[in-house]
Structure 1
Amino acid sequence: MLLPLFPRARYFADFLTPFEGVDGLEPALEAILATPDGQVNHEMARAARASRVPSWTSRVAEKPLRGDLVNLLRAYHRTVIAPHEEDIQETFQAERARHARNMLAEGTAGLLAGLSPAVRWRHPVLEVPDYPDENDVRLNGRGLLLIPSYFCWKSPIALADPGLPPVLVYSVHHVLTAACPQNEAALNALLGRTRAVILRAAVTGVTTSEAARRAGVSSGTATHHTTALRDSGLITTHRNANSALHTLTTLGAALLGRGAGTMTAGRGAPSGEAEGRSVDSVYDCGS
């Protein structure tokens, strides 16, 4: 139900990303429910022109269907987002600290210049060169709300309706680990080679048997090492029937981040056609 409403397309309805979201999930969901029917119909008709959507989406203005949508958004958040909320919040805290340092050192110009590699500050204009279409957003004294997004990996986006409060949604600085022989040796010396191999394997999730194969040890020995890593707070284990999936904790990810070269990254999302959200390009953003 959610995919047709939030497509990787030239446009999706602005009422689904309400300004009230600055106060949290529940105020945003209440705003979705309270959106006037006429606005919902207008925006859903525009979405239907921008991409192929199921016929039922034209009835989203109906209160029972919108209630189902809100319940599903709440359930999706609980299932998909909430388990990772600690990591997401840590990323946001780092983003705030980075911008605060730029603001203190270089003022507003420094803050805007350091937002993202995808934007460029040339007083008095904030340029986003990668927008597929050229559009101007004129603030007219209204100010600009900057929204770092954990899910927007490429071009920043803005709302399509120029009458809405001006916002710019842009990607936080994500960090990926890159192999470095010297640091790899240091991590091996700290944890021991077997535990270091298993910890690295847990970046993408690893079962005990997979960890054993990666490290070249028996399943019993792998279990001993995963237990030690879990007891140290470096991995967490999710059990399902007869298997156990080991994944990194925030502490484990931080250790690997220090034990390997780091680089900021923007995932190459599929490029799509863009018209949309005023300054366009919503196709590579999830929320």
Structure 2
Amino acid sequence: MKTRLAFSVNDLAETRFAVSPMWEVVTSRRVLAGATVPDPHRGWAEQVRPRLAAAGLDRGWLAEMIPSAGHLPDFLNPTTTSHELPDELAAVEATDPEQVRRDLDLLAADSDGRLSPRLRSLRRNPQAHLPRIVAEIEAYWQLAIAPYWARIRSVLEADVFHRGRQVAEHGTARTLGRLHDTVRWDGGALHLVERHCPITRIETGAGLLLVPSVFAWPRVLTRSVPSEPPQLAYPARGIGTLWESRGHAPMDALAAVIGRSRALLLAELDTPASTTELAQRSGLSAAGVSQHLTALRAAGLTSTHRAGRTVFYARTGLADALLTAQAQV
């Protein structure tokens, strides 16, 4: 299916880019819903799936609302001012009940008119269930996205910087026409092919919100809600390097500053891990690992993410920058 989104001068003026945590939640859950995981994300999926299963999130609200193909509930990707996760979650919880019902009706249409008992209860009383959905999203975020958010966000922000520079040098129309193979600018309109749902300016608000996504690859996804600007989530540049190992360069220079054990732990945190896992990988005692991680966290080099009784540690963007600089020494 093809769709044509017309642009006025005002629409071009109100076109903007944004990094959206909720788009990464939705698109990553769609990746996990597929029979096969795309090559770039297989390592991530192998780490995340056991955590989600242990927490029961492999069969929760998101699993039922986000299919591997077809319609995605628009209310899960709200248009907000800041596009920080707390603001997006607040918008999800405050969704108009009629919007929830419209999204569920479209989901049902994609599955022979049927909804699961859980989704039928959501349709009957959205306001009673939206807080539970938000709570599940927060739990999913902690397990599947938060430990990797520093490197994901760096890819997304680099894409926005690149596109912004393209706009400055070549104009918005040319930039729009180079977002993806299925997107073309021509005759004052954006032409999209391979659309599951068409978008027209009549049924949307002014402007356009462009959202780079690492998990949308290789597709372009859209959101269309009356009176709000349409959204287009497209594959961010640099996805091929997203999961590359960054922690195996010689650590002598960094070890001289923060100590060999702490430098070793930062290298091991190329993959988020618990204290027990890090002790097994590094050969250090669990107590020693815990002490070093506390110091690294205080210095802003690691972050913590709780999953039930387990706490996962991850490197921050600052730590990644230190390791990159180390590798260039």
**Counterpart residue identity of residue 170, structure 2:** E
- Segment drifting more, 70-79 vs 84-93: 84-93
CA distance in 2, matches of 1:251, 1:153: 27
Residue of 255, 263, 276 corresponding to 1:196: 263
Written as runs of structure 1 = structure 2, the 5 A alignment for 1:10-49 is 10-14=70-74, 16-17=75-76, 21-23=79-81, 24-25=87-88, 26-35=90-99, 39=102, 42-49=105-112
Between structure 1 and structure 2, the one with the greater Rg is 1
Residue in 2 that maps onto 1:103: 167
Go from structure 1 to structure 2 and tell me whether the alpha carbon gap of 1:97 and 1:61 turns closer, same or farther (over 3 Å shift): same
User: Structure 1: which amino acid aligns with 2:116?
Assistant: P
Q: Contact 2:176–2:184 (CA<8 Å) still a contact in 1? A: yes
Report deviation, 1:147: 2.8
CA distance in 2, matches of 1:76, 1:127: 36
Give 1:178's aligned residue: 244
How far apart are the structure 2 equivalents of 1:11 and 1:255? 42
RMSD value, Cα: 4.5
8 Å CA contact retained: 1:156, 1:169: yes
Residue 222 of structure 2 is aligned to residue 145 of structure 1: no
* TM-score, length of structure 2 as denominator length: 0.56
Which residue identity lines up with residue 106 of structure 2 in the other structure?
Answer: E
Q: What is the TM-score with the length of structure 1 in the denominator?
A: 0.62
**Residues 197 and 214 in structure 1, CA contact (< 8 A), matched pair in contact too:** no
The verdict on how the C-alpha distance between 1:225 and 1:75 changes in structure 2, with shifts beyond 3 A counting, is closer
> Counterparts in 2 of 1:1-287, with a 5 A limit?
1-14=61-74, 16-17=75-76, 21-23=79-81, 24-25=87-88, 26-35=90-99, 39=102, 42-49=105-112, 53-62=115-124, 65-81=125-141, 84=146, 87=150, 93-113=157-177, 115=179, 119=182, 121=184, 123-124=186-187, 131=194, 143-149=207-213, 151-159=215-223, 166-173=230-237, 174=239, 176=242, 178-179=244-245, 184-185=249-250, 187-191=251-255, 194-219=261-286, 222-223=289-290, 225-237=292-304, 245-258=312-325
Unaligned runs of 5+ in 2: 1-60, 82-86
Report the identity percentage. Answer: 24
Deviation, 1:75, is: 1.6
Report the residue type matching 1:204 in the other structure.
Answer: T
CA distance in 2, matches of 1:248, 1:137: 40
Which 10-residue stretch deviates more, 82-91 or 224-233?
82-91
SS in 2 for 1:22: coil
* Alpha carbons 2:184, 2:191 under 8 Å: kept: yes
One-letter amino acid of the structure 2 residue matched with residue 6 of structure 1: I
What code does the residue aligned with 2:71 have?
Y
Q: Which amino acid aligns with 1:178?
A: E
Q: Secondary structure at the match of 1:49?
A: coil
CA distance change for structure 1 residues 209 and 145 in 2, over 3 Å: closer, same or farther?
closer
Distance, in Å, in 2 between the alignment partners of 1:240 and 1:134 is: 35
8 A Cα contact 1:202 1:248, kept in partner? yes
Query: Which structure shows the bigger proportion of residues in helix conformation?
Result: 2
Structure 2: distance between partners of 1:58 and 1:198: 47
Question: Contact 2:66/2:72 (CA < 8 Å) preserved in 1?
Answer: yes
**Gap change, CA 1:47 and 1:162, over 3 Å in 2:** farther
CA contact (8 A) 1:40 1:61 kept: no
Deviation at 1:126, TM superposition (A): 5.4
For residues 253 and 34 of structure 1, do their structure 2 counterparts lie closer, same or farther at Cα, with a shift above 3 Å needed?
farther
Q: Is the 8 A contact 2:65 2:72 kept in 1?
A: yes
Give the CA deviation at 1:12: 3.9
Please tell me whether the aligned partners of residues 199 and 252 of structure 1 are also in contact (alpha carbons under 8 angstroms): yes
8 A Cα contact 2:221 2:232, kept in partner: yes
Instruction: Measure the CA separation in 2 of the matches of 1:8 and 1:235.
Output: 33
